Amino acid sequence: MNRWENVIERLVAAAIGDGDVSHLPAAGAPLPADDDAFAAPDMRLAFKIMRDNNVMPDWIAAGKALTAQEARLQAQIERAAGAYFRDLSAANAAGKSARIRLVQQRWERYQQEYHKRLERYNREALLYNLKLPACIPHKQAPSSEALVEAALRAAEAGDKARGA
């Protein structure tokens, strides 16, 4: 073993030369973090090839699409709740009961459509959850009632802040 240590020490010394390695690229910088530190060693090369070629398992692509869809649904209900609250406030200020009823009917129809869109999202999320490996957290199915209530509270709070 001692013989091999001597050979290795000589090779390392020859590679370093006089000890000045400051001319090397990224000298003094920390080593890059291993992206696949938790991946099985025999899978790291496969993961690197996939990453370099923008290839991903279908469940990852589906998860990204669901996250984007969830953000769109959240933004839609927040915009609609804000518009409803503004329209309702304007109708109340004008004292026109026919306009108030129209605004409320339009909001009810929107909520029904939103509920259907959210049901489709929840079905897609369920299918996504079935594809996931066991160790990956599942998507939760949001409640349309809870999202509508939260959006209305936020719209009301925003209206009060603007009016104050």
pLDDT for residue 30: 79
Token digits of residue 33: 């973090």
Domain count, the chain: 1
Confidence of residue 76 (pLDDT cuts 50, 70, 90): very high
Question: In this structure, is residue 135 part of a structural domain?
Answer: yes
Residues 6+ positions from 111 with CB-CB distance below 8 Å: 144, 148
The per-residue pLDDT for 48 is 85
Spatial CB neighbours of 73, under 8 Å, sequence gap ≥ 6: 114, 117, 118, 121, 147
Q: Which residue in the block uniquely carries the two structure tokens 């009917």?
A: 105
Confidence tier at 15 by pLDDT (50, 70, 90): confident
The answer as to whether 69 is a domain residue is yes
Average pLDDT, integer, range 45-54: 87
Tell the burial category of 94 from Cβ atoms under 10 Å away from its Cβ (0-12, 13-18, 19+). exposed
pLDDT of residue 161: 67
In percent, how much of the chain has pLDDT > 70?
Answer: 90
- DSSP symbol at 31: P
Statement: residue 162 has pLDDT above 90: no
Whether 9 is covered by a domain: the verdict is: no
| Whether the predicted pLDDT of 1 surpasses 60 | no
Residue 85 lies in a domain: yes
- The pLDDT confidence band at residue 21, using thresholds 50, 70 and 90, is low
**How far apart are alpha carbons 12 and 160 in whole angstroms?**
71
Q: Which domain holds residue 122?
A: 58-163
Q: Tokens 């915009």 label which residue?
A: 79
How sure is the predictor about 66, in pLDDT bands with cuts at 50, 70 and 90? very high
Domain assignment present for residue 97? The answer is yes
Question: Is pLDDT at 14 greater than 80 in this prediction?
Answer: no
**CA–CA separation, 87 and 23 (whole Å):** 67
* Structural domain includes residue 26: no
More confident residue, 26 or 92: 92
Give the pLDDT confidence of 91-147 residue by residue, as tens digits. 888 888 899 999 999 999 999 999 999 999 999 999 999 988 888 889 999 888 999
Residue 8 lies in a domain: no
> Is 82 domain-assigned?
yes
Residue 5 CA to residue 12 CA, distance in Å, equals: 10
Query: What percent of the chain stands above pLDDT 90?
Result: 35
